[in-house]
Each structure stands twice: as structure tokens, then as C-alpha cells.
Amino acid sequence: MTHGCAALQDSASAVTAEGACYVESMSEGNPFHDPLRFERHAPPCALVIFGANGDLTRRMLMPALYRLAYDRSLPPGFTVVGNSRSAMSDERFRDVMRESVIQFLRDTPFDERIWRDFAEGLYYRAGDLRDQGFYRELEKVLASAENERHSGGNVVFYLATQPSLYEAAAAGIGAAGLQQSAGWRRLVIEKPFGRDLDSARDLNRKLHAVFPEESIYRIDHYLGKETVQNVLAFRFGNGVFEPLWNRRYVNHVQITAAESIGVEGRAAYYQESGALRDMIQNHLLQVMATVAMEPCAVYEPNAVRDERAKLLRSIRILREDEVDSHAVAGQYGPADIGGEKARGFRQEDGANPDSQTDTYAALALFVENWRWAGVPFYIRTGKRMPRRVTDIAISFNTAPFSLFGSDGQTGLMATTPNLLVLRIQPEEGISLRFLSKQPGGGMRLRPVSMDFNYGSSFGARLPSAYETLLLDVMTGDATLYTRQDMVEASWAVVQPVMNAWAGRRFDFPNYAAGTWGPAAADEMLARQGHAWRKP
Ligand code: BG6
């Protein structure tokens, strides 16, 4: 590949101390549809993927890497070393990865020339991560990446394996001394970071025995989503919203991550995890932290992460006797959806017919600080819900009195609260609901909505979270990665709920596939005088 900073002309570019190249370029044409671009280019490096034959690599990592190659964001000589236990030649690995990219690539054409250039840097080494001999082999490939492909000794180790191998991989890297070099060495680790607070601490200790915290990048792909990043832009880039962003004006907040799919062949994993661990402990608490954190003094990785961590630590830990009124577990059962038979979780392949796993979880949380005291944050997530939607809804207090009266007969709606919805996916955008006078005589008010849509406003595709996060780790930007203290603080939030649910026999299934979850979740909000939105 010949691209890199030097190949880009007519742009202002700067190279940072770490070698990352940033380019600002302004394209001609409609400035709204083709905005100022701020492109980043990774410095020379190699990426070692442990678990290269797995689902994550094929569905997410490879398509994201291909797209970075397509955007010319990868450095010259970029090298990938894939590893798993199955024997495979480099050629075979390239073929398998090519098929995966073609299958899972979205919104980007597959260009044979770009693939060929990129695939020249793909290598594969089979090996067991518990066998020290494998790391000697790895050392040789990394040395040749450095000498022949000029990776500068910089390496990202990506743990896309089963979590049970995390410790072995870190220990193996450490014993072989591969965490040190003349360049930088970084470790990316996928969730779950432990199964509970104690195991998370234990895992952190073991990782720290090999890598310092600043070289550990714990990935939470929700933070990499363009729309989640935009929450900070929306809050802190505008003067108008932030003054309202507190207990004086906000009545409550709802964060929803609903999926229409079930467990899709992952029942074995999911059975051990459940919705609370799979989605809330990590993704949704990070989203909540982004919505509720204080502004940071500077936009720098640790300044942003300090504020997120601070917010997570301010979430009130539920007492044992509060769990049942503040947390609801659900599991989907079989249903007939539009004439089609849908299976219940217990009927999924690999699921236990008596499974007590939560496929739905909802929490009512409170933040104990000056900004948010007394404002409920309701969080829910579930599989097999009516549709896929992730959003954050901020419900504001109603007007202090109703100047225009309230008359159910005429449909006056003076008490409908203003609602700000940050749509994370799909149909990414933001809308604000407010009341407007209905045309015609009298003062009849109706809710209307002001809408911003990414698609129509920017006309550009949104980069996938993995594209963003892979480039971030290569450029050494940890802003969107979770830190040890954040992980531990979020385990602390869910720990009392996990304790209460462990070993309990639930009355499952308690919601039918294709519905919005168990009645108990509606009751939880009704007790506070609230109701879940139907997104
Ligand atoms: C993963 C969970 O972390 O996130 C999955 O393990 C879930 O169970 C997925 O389906 C949801 O991600 P997204 O980006 O599709 O909302």
C-alpha cells in the first residue's frame, strides 16, 4: 500500500509525537452534505488477533479493517497476524477473511484491488494460547513485520477469544516479553471483563502484571457508536441544552436497548450471561454515564474518562431490600407473531429447558449528586422485543401550570411533557417534542416534533463503532475505551441485583416473544408515576 500522509495533498496535515497523522480536508460541493472531514491515519503497526477464526473477527473486525483500508486510514505495511487453534495457511486465512468481508460489509463496495493490497499483510499462526511455544512463533512473525513491513515494533494485541483465555494470553505475552519493544504495545480486550466485581478485580490484577493500565484498551462498542459520541457534542457543543440538563428541569430519563432478534445461536454463552451482564453492566451504564456526566475541563482521554468514572461511582448502590422494587428480570416465551411461530428462550438450541436466565432486564437507578438527586434513570434491555431500537429519552418537567386549560373532550394536551429523544439506532438522530397550537379557532395544543436525522443532514454513512475504536487504539486515543475504575464501578452497580437474582427461581417465561417485556417492568415505573415509552 502506498498511501499515508505523504500521499494526501491539498490538505492541512500534522503528525503527532506518536506518529498518527491527522488531516483536515474540505471538499467542494454542498457543505452540509459533505462536511469538513477530519481524517485520521494510524502510524505503522501490526495487529495480532487472538480468536481470528471466531464470529467477532469475521463479522466485525475484518469488515471494519477493510473499511479503514478503503478509507486509506491504515498505515503502509499494516500487518495482521491471526491466531486460533485450527490449522490454516496464510492463503486459506486470507480466503476466509475475504469471504467474511464480502458477507458482512455494509454500505461499502468490495473493491478487489483494495482487498489485494490489504490481504498482502494478513498472516496466520495456529497455536494454543496456553502453550508458551506459540509465543516464540509469534515473536518471529512480529519481527518480520518489523523488518520487512516496517511496523516500527508497534503492536496491538486483540483478545477476541473466549474470556476463559484472557489470563492465559496476557500471561503468555508477558512470559515471552512481547509486551515490550522499541515501539508501543497495547492490549485490546473485549467484554465480559469478569463475571462480577471480584472476578473483574482479579482479571485487572492479572492484566496489570503484564501491561500498565494505559496500555490496556477495554472495548465497549457502544461508546464507539457515532450517535453515543454525539451525546457529548450535543450537550457540550451547544449553549442551549446544558442549562436544562439537571434535576430542576429533567423529570426522568429512559434508556432503552431493545433487540428484535433472540440469542442467534449464542444460547450457550448467553445462558451464563443474561441481559443484565450482557448489556447493562457495560453498554448501557456507559451510555448513562455519557448522558449524565459533568463536563470535563479538556477533551482528553483521561479527562473524559474521569468524568464518566465519577458518574458511575455516584450511582446509588441498591440495598438488598430495594432490589425487587428497582430491578425486573424477564425471559421471553414462545409466541405466535403474525402467523409465525416464535420459539421461547428455553426452546432455543443450546438453552436449558428450565433456564433461569434473564433475556430482559430493567433497572431504576438514581444518581447521588447535585445535578441529578431524585431523578430516576430507567434502563431496560431485552431480546425478542417488537423491534430493534436503542434510544435515550429525556422527559422534562411540565409547564408549572396549564395556561390553556386541560380538557380531555377537546384533546387539549397542555400537560404533555417535553421529550428529547436521542436516537442511537436505527434511524439515528435527535427529536424534541413540544406542544404547538393546532391551527384553527381557540387554543388547542398538540404535541409536534422537531427532528434531526443524520442521514438527511449529513448524507454520509456513519462509521461503524469498530472502525472508530480500531483506529483509536492504533492512534493511542483511549477516550472511548473503558478504564479499570469504570469497569469496577459498573460491576458495583449491578452486583446487588446479581446477588439477589442468583439461585432464584423466577416465574419465567414472563413475556411473549415480540412484546415489550414483562408486566412487572411496567409496574415498576407505574409506582413512580411513570410509564415506559413505546419507541
Ligand atoms: C453485544 C451483546 O455486546 O451487543 C449482544 O453481547 C448484543 O447480545 C449486542 O446483541 C448489541 O449490539 P448492537 O450494536 O447491535 O446494538
Q: Please write the tens of the pLDDT for every residue from 13-40.
A: 444 434 444 433 333 444 444 444 457 7
Task: Determine the average pLDDT of the residues in 292-311.
Answer: 96
C-alpha to C-alpha distance for 93 and 87, rounded to whole angstroms = 10
Say whether 478 sits in a helix, a strand or coil.
Answer: coil
Instruction: Compute the distance from residue 257 Cα to the ligand 1 centre, in Å.
Output: 9
The pairing of strands 185-190 and 216-219 is parallel
Q: Are 130 and 85 in contact (CB under 8 A)?
A: no
The pLDDT of residue 24 is 38
Q: Which of 71-85, 115-129, 399-413, 431-445 has the lowest average pLDDT? A: 399-413
Residues of 13-22 as b/e, b for ≥16 C-beta within 10 angstroms?
eeeeeebbbb
The pLDDT of residue 459 is 82
Mutation choice for ligand 1 from 55, 264, 270, 283, CB with most ligand atoms inside 8 A: 283
Residue 173 has pLDDT above 50, yes or no: yes
Active site residues per annotation:
283
Q: Whose CA is nearest to atom 8 of ligand 1?
A: 278
Task: Determine the average pLDDT of the residues in 171-184.
Answer: 94
For the CA of 425, the nearest atom of ligand 1: 16
Residue 442 has pLDDT above 50, yes or no: yes
Residue 383 has pLDDT above 70, yes or no: yes
Residue 348 cell numbers, joined: 432455543
Instruction: Compute the distance from residue 245 Cα to the ligand 1 centre, in Å.
Output: 28
Instruction: Compute the distance from residue 259 Cα to the ligand 1 centre, in Å.
Output: 9
C-alpha to C-alpha distance for 55 and 150, rounded to whole angstroms = 30
The pLDDT of residue 265 is 78
The pairing of strands 327-330 and 360-366 is antiparallel
Mutation choice for ligand 1 from 269, 272, 278, 348, CB with most ligand atoms inside 8 A: 278
Tell which residue, 27, 33, 35, has the closest CA to residue 457. 33
Cα-Cα-Cα-Cα dihedral sign, residues 330, 335, 340, 345: positive
C-alpha to C-alpha distance for 1 and 113, rounded to whole angstroms = 10
- The interaxial angle of helices 301-314 and 285-292, nearest 10 deg, is 100
Residue 235 has pLDDT above 90, yes or no: yes
In degrees, rounded to 5, the angle at the alpha carbon of residue 470 between the alpha carbons of residues 467 and 473 is: 145
Q: Whose CA is nearest to atom 10 of ligand 1?
A: 259
C-alpha to C-alpha distance for 68 and 163, rounded to whole angstroms = 27
In degrees, rounded to 5, the angle at the alpha carbon of residue 26 between the alpha carbons of residues 108 and 14 is: 95
Task: Determine the average pLDDT of the residues in 416-433.
Answer: 94
Q: How many residues does the chain have?
A: 535
Q: Whose CA is nearest to atom 15 of ligand 1?
A: 259
For the CA of 263, the nearest atom of ligand 1: 8
C-alpha to C-alpha distance for 83 and 90, rounded to whole angstroms = 11
Mutation choice for ligand 1 from 226, 255, 259, CB with most ligand atoms inside 8 A: 259
Tell which residue, 414, 415, 374, has the closest CA to residue 528. 374
Residue 12 has pLDDT above 50, yes or no: no
Q: Are 91 and 134 in contact (CB under 8 A)?
A: no
Task: Determine the average pLDDT of the residues in 436-455.
Answer: 91
Residue with cell 432478534: 261
Tell which residue, 95, 92, 88, 173, has the closest CA to residue 136. 173
* Dihedral (Cα; 383, 388, 391, 395), 10-degree rounding: -80
Which segments of 14-165 does DSSP mark as H helices, in order? 55-56, 62-70, 90-104, 112-119, 132-148
The pLDDT of residue 405 is 67
Whether 259 is in the pocket of ligand 1, judged by its Cβ within 6 Å, is yes
More confident residue, 397 or 40: 397
Instruction: Compute the distance from residue 464 Cα to the ligand 1 centre, in Å.
Output: 13
Q: Whose CA is nearest to atom 2 of ligand 1?
A: 278
Q: Which of 17-21, 368-372, 436-440 has the lowest average pLDDT? A: 17-21
Tell which residue, 379, 337, 259, has the closest CA to residue 512. 337
Whether 278 is in the pocket of ligand 1, judged by its Cβ within 6 Å, is yes
Residue 409's pLDDT band, with cuts at 50, 70 and 90, is: very low
| Torsion-angle region of 94 (φ positive above 0: left; ψ -120 to 50: alpha; else: beta) | alpha
Q: Whose CA is nearest to atom 13 of ligand 1?
A: 222
The rounded percent of the chain whose pLDDT value lies above 70 is 91
Task: Determine the average pLDDT of the residues in 439-459.
Answer: 90
C-alpha to C-alpha distance for 91 and 431, rounded to whole angstroms = 49
The rounded percent of the chain whose pLDDT value lies above 90 is 79
Q: Whose CA is nearest to atom 14 of ligand 1?
A: 222
The pLDDT of residue 339 is 87
For the CA of 390, the nearest atom of ligand 1: 16
Q: Are 334 and 342 in contact (CB under 8 A)?
A: yes
The pLDDT of residue 37 is 46
Mutation choice for ligand 1 from 190, 221, 255, 269, CB with most ligand atoms inside 8 A: 221
C-alpha to C-alpha distance for 433 and 418, rounded to whole angstroms = 5
Instruction: Compute the distance from residue 20 Cα to the ligand 1 centre, in Å.
Output: 30
Residue 230 has pLDDT above 90, yes or no: yes
Cα-Cα-Cα-Cα dihedral sign, residues 139, 145, 151, 156: negative
Q: Are 154 and 44 in contact (CB under 8 A)?
A: yes
Instruction: Compute the distance from residue 308 Cα to the ligand 1 centre, in Å.
Output: 21
The pLDDT of residue 11 is 37
> What is the average pLDDT score of the chain?
90
Give residue-wise pLDDT tens across range 340-365.
899 999 999 989 999 999 999 999 99
Q: Whose CA is nearest to atom 5 of ligand 1?
A: 278
Instruction: Compute the distance from residue 198 Cα to the ligand 1 centre, in Å.
Output: 24
Q: Whose CA is nearest to atom 4 of ligand 1?
A: 279
Residue 91 cell numbers, joined: 492463503
Instruction: Compute the distance from residue 176 Cα to the ligand 1 centre, in Å.
Output: 34
Backbone phi, psi, residue 348, to 5°: -70, 150
More confident residue, 414 or 517: 517
Give residue-wise pLDDT tens across range 320-343.
999 999 999 999 999 998 888 999
Q: For the whole model, what pTM was predicted?
A: 0.91
Whether 220 is in the pocket of ligand 1, judged by its Cβ within 6 Å, is no
**Gyration radius from the chain CA atoms:** 25
The pLDDT of residue 412 is 45
